[in-house]
Amino acid sequence: MVKQKLIIIGGVAAGMSAAAKARRISPDSDIIVYTEDEHISYAGCGLPYFIGGKVHEREDLFARSIADFAQQNIMVKPLCRVEEIRPEKGKVFIRDKTDHLTMEDQFDRLIIATGARSFVPPIGGIELPGVFSLRTVSDSLEIKNFLQQNTPMRVSIVGGGYIGLEMAENFQEMGCQVSIIERAPHIIPNMDPDMADIVQHYLATKGISVYTGTSVTGFVGENLVKGVSTDRGDIPADFVLLAIGVLPNSELAAESGIELGVKNAIRINDKAETNLTNIYAAGDCATTVNLITGNEVYIPLGTTANKQGKVAGENAGGGNASFKGVIGTGIARVMEMEVSRTGLSENECKALDIHYLSKQIQSKTAAHYCPASKGIHLKLIIDQDTRRLIGAQIVGFAGAAMRIDMLATAITMGATVEQLLDMDLAYSPPFSPVWDPVLVALNQF
Amino acid sequence: MVKQKLIIIGGVAAGMSAAAKARRISPDSDIIVYTEDEHISYAGCGLPYFIGGKVHEREDLFARSIADFAQQNIMVKPLCRVEEIRPEKGKVFIRDKTDHLTMEDQFDRLIIATGARSFVPPIGGIELPGVFSLRTVSDSLEIKNFLQQNTPMRVSIVGGGYIGLEMAENFQEMGCQVSIIERAPHIIPNMDPDMADIVQHYLATKGISVYTGTSVTGFVGENLVKGVSTDRGDIPADFVLLAIGVLPNSELAAESGIELGVKNAIRINDKAETNLTNIYAAGDCATTVNLITGNEVYIPLGTTANKQGKVAGENAGGGNASFKGVIGTGIARVMEMEVSRTGLSENECKALDIHYLSKQIQSKTAAHYCPASKGIHLKLIIDQDTRRLIGAQIVGFAGAAMRIDMLATAITMGATVEQLLDMDLAYSPPFSPVWDPVLVALNQF
């Protein structure tokens, strides 16, 4: 058999998972990874904690180095931007960002794992020093550098999603006065308003100013940002972080005839295959499927990137793996408060015209007489016809949010209220009240 | 319709859950609860923490009072021991423990929720002051009283199960020198030795002496216990706690012709019915079913008691509820270490001749760079033929043990390794590494 050559574009979660898996499946193939970034295989989700100083060393963010991969006979080429794919010829054209020279390379199979970039709206003042977004290790180093030189006191975070919340915590611990500006009527737009309001109230008690229903129209300042202009007035700020979502890096794929799907992400099937033979895509540049609705969705997350990358790597290496999709599980912590969600929200049910029932309860994470006993708000959503669980949202303190994994498992396995009420869940006073909050909520249906 | 009369024997978890549910189902019936105990509706699992002083007030242990139940028109008669049931006549005979008078009462339907008692072996010195067992609020008050008057320094706990571990924590925090004596080759007999050994090693580093494979033969002392005699020598002790399991209080039922099952517990079906019409049983006096094997089992736990009690109350009140059974989920904390298990252990698989595969991994509860990142050991057991998950055991630190609920849900729903590998579990650095320990373990199969 002729030696196969696999080219991977992108060196973070999906790309490097694909490379590692392809190597295990196909020990003799050539594997080369081109990435325009300087850094590879890093924990993007750890960046807020790196900026906040909880991750002490930059090295702690890296899972594996270029040298580690070289030992596995995987060649990684950093600072190399793939500028063109010619699928019919099995060729890619690469510009080396150090010497600006262009080279070409030949592949038998190709995996596109180009990730996503921060959405940066084209509004006035966006180029001002002091206005940042956070996506890459390089972004985080620039931010840390700015913070050291300017020690901003007033920080405005545009966007009240998970990253916005995590950054609010980290900036406040640095002693900054923090505001969050969210265009939607409530923060954490993928949760329902009743649950998000609890978080919003908590943030207020912690001294964080939250402006919801507020659109940013521009940034004030001359040589340095001095404030955020909104449709409801100016908010002073010495530092602005944009955390309003990401866009898939799919232009390269689209230009070479690869089909895009929802939100312009690269459309792949459960084998991570694109519409072109021998070309795969995975991670934050690609679509996936919502397993509850069957709809194509774009939910770029590190865990999905790892799983899709593995599947792409296995299949490109000659195997036969599949990744069926997601149900929209998410989790975050902001100071002491934990937030998680899975499945469909009420808002999503309404949009999909699903006949649903929803209940929200308040309980404790442990027996009321235990020091570990903290508040938990739990919302469950069921399909009224099948009585299957289809959604869950949690807001609470220590030990609250991770209960979402049990609920995600129940949703994926199609569990009904009646099956769940009989579930043999763990009970001991330091871990749960004798009626676990999940059972208390189920008892409402 | 003639007014129905429901008599319930027993006033803790199963009995009072039954009473409350029967009242909701059947607003007009007479409901009377006889209990020989002085206390009702208390949190038995909280007693170790009450002795340890973490539960400050005795009242914190009580969910609801006799007066609370009276408001629901449920009459509770404490210190009233039912001494005889005459099923064919629908009568019970009761001795009032305050005036020693006997009375009789008439029922249409009867629920037996007599609970269990500590197993106290007939060995020399067992009656010595300073030798205790812990089951009821009264036991705990006697122990607290003894501790205040005698301030024992050396405490021996006979039995290395969950209660033994919880009491070891509480006694050590009181400044006692604690030893645990376990007859089995390892502590926590319902876990496998490889997992139990990790706990045993931890206890040793915390200064707790653990004697496994050691049988207690008697107790030393004249007016007060001075030590524990074992087949491997004497162990000095000023206080001994027996925590070697419980026996179902099923004699009353057996004498009236009610069928017993495994371990002499009252045999009930999924409707909580005994073999006699209109007589139900629930809780620690009754059997249940292991949902994985289909076998009748006796696993007395507070959560099961609540669920069975609810079903008994609903059905005795004219409803039609069922409780299918358990999978053996258990959880405990000892100092900082958390322990949990569900489904079948390797030992159980061997005994049942199940064709199984088992893998054990070590991972972290959060991203390695997070302060919350602690060690977790996870063992998964699958059926080799169906590749379904059938067992899980966890030993670790903060945030480790509650992952068992997700695994219990997976086992109950019949999830395979492949289904679980695709599961959309929550990920954010403070809660999990990017590959959750559960996924890491699944990847080994």
The Cα–Cα gap between A242 and B378 comes to 39
pLDDT at B1: 54
Average pLDDT over residues A4-27: 96
Identify the sign of the CA torsion A422, A427, A431, A432: positive
Place of tokens 């059905």: B315
B51 to chain A, any CB pair closer than 8 A? The answer is no
The pair of structure tokens assigned to A60 is: 């702690």
Burial call B410-437: b when 16+ CB within 10 Å, e when fewer: bbbbebbbebbbbbbbbbbbbbbbbbbb
- Segment A160-187 mean pLDDT: 96
Question: How would you write A110-174 as a 3-class SS string?
Answer: EEECCCEEECCCCCECCCCCCEEECCCHHHHHHHHHHHHHHCCCEEEEECCCHHHHHHHHHHHHC
CA distance, residue A431 to nearest chain B CA (Å)? 7
- What is chain B's alpha carbon radius of gyration, rounded to the nearest angstrom? 23
pLDDT of amino acid B371: 80
Nearest CA in chain A to B405: A425
Q: How much is the pLDDT for B399?
A: 87
Residues in chain B with CB shorter than 8 Å from the CB of A302 are 427, 434
Average pLDDT along chain A:
95
Contacts of B327 (CB under 8 A, 6+ apart): A424, B290, B291, B292, B342, B343, B408, B411, B412
Chain B residues with CB under 8 Å of A425 CB are: 303, 329, 405, 408
Search chain A and give the residue with CA nearest B415. Answer: A413
d(CA A179, CA A244): 14
CB contact under 8 A, B324 and A422: yes
Q: Decide if B429 and A45 are in contact by the 8 Å CB cutoff.
A: yes
- Can you give the pLDDT at residue A370? 83
Give the Cα separation of B235 and B216 in Å (integer).
10
Classify residue B128 as exposed, middle or buried by CB count within 10 Å of its CB (0-12, 13-18, 19+): middle
Query: How many percent of chain A have pLDDT more than 70?
Result: 100
Of A331, A401, A424, the CB nearest to B408: A424
Picking from A56, A329, A422, the nearest residue to B425 by CB comes out as: A329
Residue of chain B whose Cα is closest to the Cα of A327? B424
- By C-alpha distance, the chain B residue nearest A333 is B430
- Which of the residues of B are catalytic? 45
What pLDDT is recorded for position A60?
Answer: 85
Q: Which of A137, A304, A327, A424 to mutate to test the interface with B (most CBs of B within 10 A)?
A: A424
Does A428 sit within 8 Å of B412, measured CB to CB? no
Hey, are the CB atoms on B54 and A399 less than 8 Å from each other?
no
Residues of B in Cβ contact (< 8 Å) with A371: 54
* Chain B residue at shortest CA distance from A13: B434
Residue A1 has pLDDT above 70, yes or no: no
Supply the pLDDT for residue A176.
96
All residues of chain A having their beta carbon less than 8 Å from the beta carbon of residue B402 are: 399, 402-403, 426, 431-432
**How far is C-alpha B107 from the geometric centre of its chain's CA atoms?**
30
Query: Which residue of chain A has the CA closest to B291?
Result: A424
Residues in chain B with pLDDT values less than 70: 1-2
CA-based nearest distance B409→chain A, Å = 6
Q: Which residues 146-205 of A have a C-beta within 8 angstroms of B?
A: 162, 166
Query: Looking at residue B368, what is its pLDDT?
Result: 84
Chain A (402-441) residues lying within 8 Å, Cβ to Cβ, of chain B: 402-406, 408-410, 412-415, 419-432, 434-436, 438
**Secondary structure, 3-state, chain A:** CCCCEEEEECCCHHHHHHHHHHHHHCCCCEEEEECCCCCCCECHHHHHHHHCCCCCCHHHHECCCHHHHHHCCEEEECCEEEEEEEHHHCEEEEEECCCCCEEEEECCEEEECCCEEECCCCCECCCCCCEEECCCHHHHHHHHHHHHHHCCCEEEEECCCHHHHHHHHHHHHCCCEEEEECCCCCCCCCCCHHHHHHHHHHHHHCCCEEECCCCEEEEEECCCEEEEEECCEEEECCEEEECCCEEECCHHHHHCCCCECHHHCECCCCCCECCCCCEEECHHHECEEECCCCCEECCCCHHHHHHHHHHHHHHHCCCCCCCCCECCCEEEEECCEEEEEEECCHHHHHHCCCCEEEEEEEEECCCCCCCCCCEEEEEEEEECCCCEEEEEEEEECCCCHHHHHHHHHHHHCCCEHHHHHCCCCCCCCCCCCCCCHHHHHHCCC
368-397 in chain B: CB under 8 A from chain A: 368-371
User: Can you give the pTM of this predicted structure?
Assistant: 0.94
Whether the CB of A43 is below 8 Å from some CB of chain B: the reply is: yes
Burial class (CB in 10 A: 0-12, 13-18, 19+), A78: middle
Q: Which positions 267-296 of A are in contact with B (Cβ < 8 Å)?
A: 291
- Please report, for residues A34, A114, A170, A249, A263, the alpha-carbon distance to residue A272 in angstroms, rounded to integers and kept in the order given: 19, 14, 36, 16, 17
Contact status, residue B220 vs residue B125, Cβ threshold 8 Å:
yes
For residue B60, give the nearest of A327, A369, A432 by CB distance: A369
**pLDDT (average), residues A363-373:** 88
Chain A CB within 8 Å of residue B367 CB: yes
Chain A residues closer than 8 Å to B414 by CB: 413
Q: Annotated catalytic residue: which of A45, A80, A176, A349?
A: A45
Note whether A302 contacts B: Cβ–Cβ < 8 A: yes
At residue A2, the pLDDT reads 65
User: Does the pLDDT at position A327 exceed 70?
Assistant: yes
